[in-house]
Chain A
Amino acid sequence: MLVGFLSAAIIAGTPLLFATLGEIFSEKAGHLNLGVEGMMYMGAIIGFIVGLNTHNPLLAMLGAILAGAIGALLYAFLTVSLRVNQTVCGLTLTIFGEGFASFLGQRVMGSIVPGDIKGFFVARPIPLLSSIPYIGEIFFQQDIFVYIGYLTIIASAYYLFRTKKGLNLRAVGESAAAADASGINVSLYKYVHILLGGALCGLGGAYMSLVTVPVWQEHIIAGRGWIAVALVIFASWNPIKALIGAFLFGGLSILGFRLQSMGIHISQYLIDMLPYAATIIIVIISTRKNKKEDMPPADLGNPYFREER
């Protein structure tokens, strides 16, 4: 029972995982992108349409990556090159992404993901690992998309904290001016990581439309992009903590219905409040503790203009 619930929590948490990771990259480059929800919609619809037409799961994922990255490119051009206010621009991107998905979605409304793609994303136990009691059942009897999520987390954590480029990226987010002075190409770093962030959000969206729901429906993302924005803070900009947070939030999002099926009546809407309340408490605690690694990148939200140094 518990194992089944935890395993379902991972499926519910996977779209959050990708989107949170994407937003971490963007924020580490100093850009608060509130367009996560919009980019997830773009990835969800393009991934779905490509999947429907090609019957190829990998092309569908590639389509979602590109769609998310294109949304992010729009945002990057406006906020990095034209120095537009990040909050306003991100919100606009969310309006755009939702409109975009809802428009393209009209023609495929109610269509079902082709069988070959569904077949590709069935649970595939990993030999050896999946036979570990409990842990194996929860973590290693999932679909390929989830495994890609694990790998992305590990790769991101390594990249951010163990490579020179990751160090440079963090420098850009902490102080763009100082990074520039030390010879880092600030604009290039910002563009690359905002786009990478968008690509990951696109993948998160595609998980919803290709695996979780596998039917196209309006409002498919349903606010998950915003939860991801909260999760970034919850995870204090750390990919490993993002993994824990995403599965925790995923679990909470299905907890109410599980409890109800067990005869315990707690409103799902009250349980839905928990992740947000938890995030607020974490924001307060992290400001109180004033621990450097739990703080947002110091230059987050500030436009950088070289000539103004």
Chain B
Amino acid sequence: MIPLKITKRDDLPRNKAIMIRTFSVALSIVFAGLIIALLGYNPITIFTSMVKGALGTTIRIQQTTLKAIPLIITSLGILVAFKMKFWNIGGEGQIMMGAFAASAVALNFDLPKPLMLLSMAIAAMIMGGFWAFIPAFFKAKMGTNETIFTLMLNYLAIKFVTYLQYGPWKDPSSQGFPKVAAFSDSAILPSVFGVHIGWIIALILVVLVYLFLNHTKKGYEISVVGESIETARYAGMNISSIIIISMMLSGGLCGLTGMIQASAVEKTLSASLSANYGFTAIITTWLAGLNAIATLFVCIAFAILVQGGNYIQISMQVPASVADMIQAIILFFVLGSEFFLQYKVHVHKYLKVKKEAK
């Protein structure tokens, strides 16, 4: 047998927790560096150009911010569901349906800009919320497994938007190229400091979601349901309604991401619009320890990785896949380090005794 004994930590001093995390990130960078060297590149050049590529100039910082915005808002949505231990892996679909609803408004109505943008956002949040309501309803009423349900709804939404893009919504003036008509100017979000105002929305939402989860009654109920359904039931909470309301909030936030991406980034509806944000957000939310403020920073770090990865692809002809692998390796290490935050590993006593006997 392996002479190791594992016990659960009762409490972990804050500085020790930070030390373990820092160490794991450092270790992951060293390991990723080794892999990069094995692939025949200079790790130091790669890392420094990734950072330069993400933060080196104003334009690059703007690009990084553009990548961070959808990730932050989606992560906040995922966070609300995860807090309740409702495994919403349907962010992709909720983003898509939100984008679909926003586009339906943008393409069919002619409204003044502020009213247009507001109606698009509301439509997107309702549609995203509805897409999350379906699995939440079945979970609350029948106990249906939400992981699989939300996963399937992703594909329904993506295929549906693909159908629209290649079929009924195909722009007749695009000469056969399968794309949806571009939005009119009134449906496009304005910019502040060179980046669309999604970044301001994201920052406000971080604060709002933080306050909601930590300082309101509903937020408290959500964490109680997450901790123990039994306790929640014993305390007389209406579990079904808590599940449904928070899931709709979760889907609504993801839907809003869809509206922002359609309006400010794609400037139309496209089947590739969700760009895996729904999945990446699961990872960022988890790494942030289900904390809204921490989510902001983890998402920014992720955006730096992604933008840095794009940059080295263009500037150094390093395939983007290298950046994906670096990202995954760092993730594996950070995830693995969670173990040492929760458990303590001791070497069995008898082994020590044996050593002393020698």
Binding site for B on A (CB under 8 A): 32, 34, 74, 78, 81-85, 87-89, 91-96, 98-103, 106, 223, 226, 229-230, 233, 267, 269-270, 272-273, 276-277, 279-280, 283-284, 287-288, 296, 301, 305, 307-308
Q: How far is the CA of A288 from the CA of B286 in the complex (A)?
A: 31
Q: How far is the CA of A94 from the CA of B328 in the complex (A)?
A: 9
Q: Given A82-B336, A92-B328, A269–B147 Cβ distance below 8 Å?
A: no
Asked whether B325 is an interface residue with its Cβ less than 8 Å from the other chain, the reply is yes
Q: How far is the CA of A240 from the CA of B348 in the complex (A)?
A: 46
Which of B13-21, B57-65, B156-164 is the interface stretch?
A: B156-164
Chain B residue contacts of A81, Cβ below 8 A? 339
Q: How far is the CA of A301 from the CA of B332 in the complex (A)?
A: 18
CB-based contact A84/B335 at 8 Å:
yes
Q: Quick one: which of B33-63 are within 8 Å of A by CB?
A: 39
Q: Given A32-B147, A83-B339, A98–B324 Cβ distance below 8 Å?
A: yes
Contact of B321 among A91, A102, A233, A269 (CB under 8 A): A102
CB-based contact B325/A96 at 8 Å:
yes
Chain A residue contacts of B162, Cβ below 8 A? 269, 272
CB-based contact B166/A267 at 8 Å:
yes
Q: Given A85-B286, A87-B282, A103-B319, A92–B331 Cβ distance below 8 Å?
A: yes
CB-based contact B155/A92 at 8 Å:
no
Q: Given A78-B335, A230-B148, A307–B7 Cβ distance below 8 Å?
A: yes
CB-based contact A284/B142 at 8 Å:
yes
Chain A residue contacts of B163, Cβ below 8 A? 267, 269-270, 273
Across the A-B interface, the 8 shortest Cβ-Cβ residue pairs: A99-B324, A96-B328, A269-B163, A102-B321, A82-B339, A103-B321, A99-B325, A276-B155
**B1-25, CB under 8 A of A: which get 1 and which 0?**
0000011100000000000000000
Q: How far is the CA of A95 from the CA of B322 in the complex (A)?
A: 11
Q: What are 5 A-B interface contacts by the 8 Å CB criterion?
A: A95-B324, A95-B331, A273-B155, A283-B144, A287-B138
Interface of B is mostly: helix
Chain B residue contacts of A230, Cβ below 8 A? 148, 151-152, 155
CB-based contact A269/B167 at 8 Å:
yes
CB-based contact A229/B331 at 8 Å:
no
CB-based contact B336/A279 at 8 Å:
no
CB-based contact A307/B6 at 8 Å:
yes
Chain A residue contacts of B282, Cβ below 8 A? 87-88, 91
Chain A residue contacts of B335, Cβ below 8 A? 78, 82, 84-85, 88-89, 92
Give the total of B residues in contact with A, Cβ under 8 Å: 47
Chain A residue contacts of B119, Cβ below 8 A? none
Q: A84-B338, A273-B156 known; 12 other A-B pairs, CB under 8 Å? A: A78-B332, A85-B286, A95-B327, A96-B325, A99-B325, A103-B322, A226-B155, A233-B145, A269-B163, A276-B156, A283-B144, A287-B144
Separation in Å of the A82 CB from the closest CB of chain B?
Answer: 4
Contact of A284 among B138, B283, B336 (CB under 8 A): B138
Q: How far is the CA of A229 from the CA of B156 in the complex (A)?
A: 15
Q: How far is the CA of A233 from the CA of B6 in the complex (A)?
A: 35
CB-based contact A280/B328 at 8 Å:
no
Chain A residue contacts of B69, Cβ below 8 A? none
CB-based contact B338/A87 at 8 Å:
no
Separation in Å of the B205 CB from the closest CB of chain A?
Answer: 22
Residue from A74, A92, A98 with most neighbouring chain B CB atoms (10 Å): A92
Q: Given A269-B166, A273-B159, A307-B6, A280–B336 Cβ distance below 8 Å?
A: no
Contact of B332 among A96, A101, A287, A308 (CB under 8 A): A96
CB-based contact A74/B151 at 8 Å:
no
Contact of A307 among B8, B144, B336 (CB under 8 A): B8
CB-based contact A87/B89 at 8 Å:
yes
Asked whether B176 is an interface residue with its Cβ less than 8 Å from the other chain, the reply is no
Q: Given A84-B339, A91-B279, A233–B148 Cβ distance below 8 Å?
A: yes
Closest to B338 in A: A84
Closest to B7 in A: A307
Q: How far is the CA of A81 from the CA of B336 in the complex (A)?
A: 9
Separation in Å of the A105 CB from the closest CB of chain B?
Answer: 8
